[in-house]
Amino acid sequence: MTDALFLTSADVDDLAEPADYVTAVRDAYRQIGEGAPAEPRTKLISRSPPGMLTTYAAVLPETGAMGGYMYSAGFDARDAWFMTPLFDADSGEPLALIDGASMNPFKTGAAGAVAVDALAREDATSLAVIGSGAQARGQLKATATVRAFETVRVFSPTPENREAFAAAFDEELDADVRAVSDASEAVSGADAVITATNASDPVIDDSDVEPGTHVTAMGQYHRERNELPPELIARATYVPDLRARATHDAGSFLAALEAGLIDEDHVATDLGEVISGSHAGRTSAEEVTVFDSGGTGIETVAAAHMLYTRAVDAGRGESISFAPASEALTGE
C-alpha cells in the first residue's frame, strides 16, 4: 500500500496567485517543447442520457509529476466535476487526487497568459475580452500578470454580465476596464484579444482584427464549433497548445481547412516550441498571431503539482491509501 493525499477544492483554492500558476505553466510548456510527452483530450459523448466524459494527460519529467484531468459534464445534474490524479514521474506512485474545480479557470488562464507573453507585441497596451464567465475571468486575471494593459474592453451578450465583469476588474486592475455594446467595439484597435465563450460560431469579425494583433481563443474544443472566423486563421501565425490538437478538435482550424483556406501545414508551431526557444513565434510587429487553447494535461499537471507541494507544506488534505497493481493482481 502507498499513501496519497486527497485535496478538496477548498483545500487548494487559496494556495496560489495567478502569477504562480503562470510561472508553473510556462515551465511545463518549456518541458513539452523540449520533448516531454502530452496528448490531446479524449472526449466520449453520450446522447442518452446526454453527457460527456473527457480525459487528457501529460508527463513533466523535470517537475517530477505526471497525470491529467478527468471530468464529466451534463447527465441529469447538468453540471461538471473535475478530478485530477497526480503521480510521481519516477516511481509512478500516486501523489494526490485533487478536486480541480477551483484551479480550473486559473490553470487554463495561465496557459493563455503564457501565450500572450510569448506571442503578443511587447508594446501591447490594449486588450479585448469576449466573454464574461469564469474562464474569461481566469484569462484576464492571469494575463494581467504578464502585460501592463492600460485599457480592457469586454463584451458579452448579456449587458448585466459584462457590466459586472468590467466593474469588478476596473477595481482590481491598474487599467481602464469597461464594458462595450458589441464585439466589434471591443476588438477594433485592440493589441490583444481573448475569446472565452461557449459559442458555436465566430464571435469576432476578421475585419476588426488589425495587423499586429494577438488573439487567444479558448472557449471551444469541438470539431464543429469555432470561435474564430476561418479568414482570421488563414492569415494568422497559428499556434495551438499541442500540434496534434489542430486536426483533432480545434474547430476554428478545421473550419478554415474545410473552407479550403489553409492546409494541414498551416500550423506554424505549438506553444511548447515557442517557450523552449525552438520556434520564434511572432517574427514581426505587423504579424497576426493566434493561440488556440483547448485545454491540455500540461497546465493541469503543472498546476496540480504546485498545489500539491504547497498543500503538503501547509498540512492540508486527507491521506488515502492505494494498493499497488502487484498486490491487486496476486493477492500477496
Higher pLDDT, 58 or 78: 58
Higher pLDDT, 113 or 1: 113
Using 50, 70 and 90 to split pLDDT, how confident is the model at 131? Answer: very high
Determine, yes or no, domain membership for 203. Answer: yes
Q: What is the mean pLDDT of residues 215-235?
A: 84
Residue in the structure block whose three cell numbers are 497559428: 238
Residue 21, domain extent: 2-104+297-330
Q: What's the CATH number where 28 sits?
A: 3.30.1780.10
Does the structure show a pLDDT above 80 at 221?
Answer: no
Residue in the structure block whose three cell numbers are 469597461: 178
Residues 258 and 216 in one domain: yes
Residues 38 and 157 in one domain: no
Higher pLDDT, 296 or 43: 296
Determine, yes or no, domain membership for 111. Answer: no
CB 152 within 8 Å of CB 175: yes
Q: What is the mean pLDDT of residues 236-245?
A: 94
Residues 100 and 17 in one domain: yes
Using 50, 70 and 90 to split pLDDT, how confident is the model at 225? Answer: confident
Q: Would you state the pLDDT for residue 191? A: 98
Report d(CA 191, CA 212) in Å as an integer.
Answer: 7
Q: Would you state the pLDDT for residue 147? A: 94
Determine, yes or no, domain membership for 151. Answer: yes
CA R_g for the chain: 20
Q: What is the mean pLDDT of residues 312-323?
A: 96
Residues 231 and 137 in one domain: yes
Residues 78 and 171 in one domain: no
Higher pLDDT, 221 or 320: 320
Determine, yes or no, domain membership for 202. Answer: yes
Residues 325 and 282 in one domain: no
Q: State pTM to two decimals.
A: 0.94
Report d(CA 251, CA 230) in Å as an integer.
Answer: 10
Determine, yes or no, domain membership for 219. Answer: yes
Using 50, 70 and 90 to split pLDDT, how confident is the model at 211? Answer: very high
CB 219 within 8 Å of CB 131: yes
Residues 88 and 222 in one domain: no
CA of 318: how far to CAs of 16, 88, 98, 199, in Å? 19, 18, 11, 39
Residues 159 and 266 in one domain: yes
When divided into structural domains, the chain yields a total of 2
Determine, yes or no, domain membership for 110. Answer: no
For residue 120, give the amino acid letter.
A
| Per-residue model confidence as pLDDT tens digits over 6-36 | 999 999 999 999 999 999 999 999 999 999 9
Residues 149 and 286 in one domain: yes
Residues 134 and 157 in one domain: yes
Determine, yes or no, domain membership for 168. Answer: yes
CB 291 within 8 Å of CB 17: no
Q: Would you state the pLDDT for residue 81? A: 87
Q: Would you state the pLDDT for residue 93? A: 97
Q: What's the CATH number where 264 sits?
A: 3.40.50.720
Residues 176 and 280 in one domain: yes
Residues 207 and 131 in one domain: yes
Determine, yes or no, domain membership for 114. Answer: no
